[in-house]
């Protein structure tokens, strides 16, 4: 459980507020959707989804990520993991729908690539605020059909991923994988529930983690008590029925924070 010292080998600016940090050594046998605990020395240890077996894709949103953005190639940070339950990989011939919003594209990109290698047909809905905020469009495009939505209409459908989702026959897909802002995932959840296909869907939740291994209970979700770090972060749609999804999360003190 001691952090591995990971050296930054490359930094790619994906957008003004998002960067991908490549590191060495990478992880073998990564289960797409798993996460690592990233230790920014002197600041904090935070959970991050892996965008490859040797990279994390980070949005600058707080003290820890701001400090991470100050690091250069050759610098290092600590890593523990990978932890948690990832997405269920499809089998050859299955048709899957990937729904990615914002930085949610990070853990979904290796999942989509693994699905493609397994022989599945991949269709991606990729959403962002604007064209400049679309992440990994090229990676998804290399795997199959990509439908794009942007809040400002600068590319694709003007609106949200659900505006595209409403026009699809979701029952035609064997698996549906979802990751993005929780408000977005909550909207997708309700639509899939209305279409009676929740049993085909998996959602990746983001919560505050302390230990990352299921011991402290800080990331337990209502009403089930499931631990996001150990039982998730990927949950089936059925597991999330009646849960706190889209309603609230908790801060470091355990206090509820409205989403």
CB 202, CB 235: distance < 8 Å? yes
Q: Could you give the C-alpha distances from 152 to 19, 157, 160, in angstroms and in order?
A: 22, 9, 10
Q: Give residues with Cβ within 8 angstroms of 57, minimum separation 6.
A: 14, 18, 19, 20, 21, 49, 51, 103, 105, 106, 135
Q: Give residues with Cβ within 8 angstroms of 141, minimum separation 6.
A: none
Q: Could you give the C-alpha distances from 247 to 89, 202, 221, in angstroms and in order?
A: 29, 18, 11
Q: Is 179 known as a binding-site position?
A: no
Q: Is 219 known as a binding-site position?
A: yes
Q: How many helices (H) and strands (E) does the chain have?
A: 5, 15
Q: Is 211 known as a binding-site position?
A: yes
Helix (H) or strand (E) holding 187: helix 182-194
23 vs 162: CA distance, rounded Å: 35
Q: Is 220 known as a binding-site position?
A: no
Calculated CA dihedral for residues 244, 36, 27, 178, nearest 10 degrees: 20
87 vs 99: CA distance, rounded Å: 13
Of 176, 183, 166, 181, the closest CA to residue 198 belongs to: 176
Annotated binding site: 211, 216, 219, 229
Annotated binding site for [2Fe-2S] cluster: 211, 216, 219, 229
């Amino acid at each position: 459980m001691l952090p591995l010292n990971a050296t930054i080998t490359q930094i790619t600016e994906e957008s003004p507020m998002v960067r991908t940090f490549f590191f060495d050594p990478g992880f073998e046998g990564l289960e797409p959707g798993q996460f690592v605990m990233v230790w920014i020395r002197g600041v904090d240890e935070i959970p991050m989804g892996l965008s490859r077996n040797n990279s994390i894709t980070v949005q600058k949103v707080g003290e820890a990520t701001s400090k991470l953005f100050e690091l250069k190639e050759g610098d290092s940070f600590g890593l523990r993991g990978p932890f948690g339950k990832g997405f269920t990989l499809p089998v050859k011939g299955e048709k899957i729908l990937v729904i990615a919003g914002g930085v949610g594209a990070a853990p979904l990109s290796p999942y989509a690539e693994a699905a493609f290698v397994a022989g599945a047909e991949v269709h991606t809905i990729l959403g962002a605020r604007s064209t400049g905020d679309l992440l990994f469009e090229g990676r998804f495009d290399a795997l199959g059909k990509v439908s794009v939505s942007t809040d400002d209409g600068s590319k694709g459908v003007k609106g949200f991923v659900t505006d595209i989702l409403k026009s699809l026959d979701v029952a035609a897909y064997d698996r549906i994988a979802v990751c993005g802002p929780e408000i977005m995932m909550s909207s997708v959840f309700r639509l899939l529930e209305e279409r009676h296909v929740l049993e085909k869907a998996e959602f990746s939740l983001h919560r505050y983690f302390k230990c990352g291994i299921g011991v402290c209970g800080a990331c337990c979700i209502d009403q089930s008590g499931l631990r996001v770090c150990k039982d998730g972060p990927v949950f089936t749609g059925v597991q999330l029925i009646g849960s706190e999804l889209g309603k609230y999360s908790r801060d470091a003190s355990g206090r509820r924070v409205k989403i």
